[in-house]
Amino acid sequence: MNLNLDFAAIIERWPAFLDGALLTLQLAFIATVLGTAIGVLGAIGRRSRHPIIARICSIYVEAIRNTPLLVQIFLVYFGLASLGLKFSAFMVAAAALTINVGAYTTEIIRAGFDSIPRGQIEAAEGLALSRAQIYWHVVMWPAIEKVYPSLTSQFVLLMLASSVTSQISAEELTAVANYIQSDTYRAFETYILVAIVYIVLSLIMRAGFWLLGLVIFPRRRRLGTPL
């Protein structure tokens, strides 16, 4: 067996890899921010006293968690096109990833809500805090702090899963790799380099979330609790 690796033709395409990596991070950032907002609202909805709202949120979560991400991307991509709505592959990819991660974030945050002791809520009610104040100060922030490690892991997985958006020609990292390997005929070297880039992106995101956690959850920093 003679393995002959030649990275020269691959490395000289580094501007294309950089563009793909930046677009991957853009997709991850948009989906993370919007998905978090959906997750908070979905978690509140799932615990709502109104059965219709709770049922709608439950159907959304179960539908997303029990279908492949690629199928969801195709549904958004071809569904919008069938309605006569024309959007770029980037916008469709961002929308599909947001919808997907929103469902998983909903369940993670709901688990955090459920972990808040009932006694804390009753104490807040005894202080005559409004329902909005209780949710904000007593339930939501302590709950998100508890599940923050799970949330950050989910967002890193989202970034890695964004590779499937190459199927709708979103110009992210995997799509760039597909173009380069078809042009250079160096598939093995191309995907070795892409794997390394994904590892670096994952480490960057984890470091960013760690720093963000130190800022928004200073109590963990004082106690030395890992994020």
Domain boundaries, the chain: 7-223
pLDDT digit string (tens) for 158-201? 999 999 999 998 889 999 999 999 988 888 999 999 999 999 99
How far is CA 160 from each of CA 5, 154, 210, 225, rounded to the nearest angstrom?
25, 10, 18, 27
pLDDT at position 4: 78
The average pLDDT across 87-113 equals 94
| Confidence band, pLDDT 50/70/90 cuts, at residue 83 | confident
The average pLDDT across 46-71 equals 94
Non-local CB neighbours of 146 within 8 Å, separated by 6+ positions: 112, 115
Higher pLDDT, 220 or 24: 24
| Confidence band, pLDDT 50/70/90 cuts, at residue 36 | very high
Q: Is the pLDDT of residue 223 over 50?
A: no
Average pLDDT score, the chain: 89
pLDDT digit string (tens) for 129-158? 777 788 777 888 888 989 999 999 999 999
How far is CA 126 from each of CA 64, 123, 130, 134, rounded to the nearest angstrom?
39, 5, 10, 11
CB distance 202 to 49 below 8 Å = no
What is the DSSP secondary-structure string of the chain?
-------HHHHTTHHHHHHHHHHHHHHHHHHHHHHHHHHHHHHHHHT-SSHHHHHHHHHHHHHHHTS-HHHHHHHHHHHHHHTT----HHHHHHHHHHHHHHHHHHHHHHHHHHTS-HHHHHHHHHTT--HHHIIIIIIIHHHHHHHHHHHHHHHHHHHHHGGGGGGGT--SHHHHHHHHHHHHS-HHHHHHHHHHHHHHHHHHHHHHHHHHHHHH-HHHHHHT---
The percentage of the chain sitting over the pLDDT mark of 70, rounded to a whole number, equals: 95
Could you confirm whether domain 7-223 is CATH 1.10.10.10? no
Q: Find where tokens 């919007």 sit.
A: 34
Helices 141-161, 89-114: axis angle to 10 degrees equals 150
| Confidence band, pLDDT 50/70/90 cuts, at residue 225 | low
Higher pLDDT, 136 or 105: 105
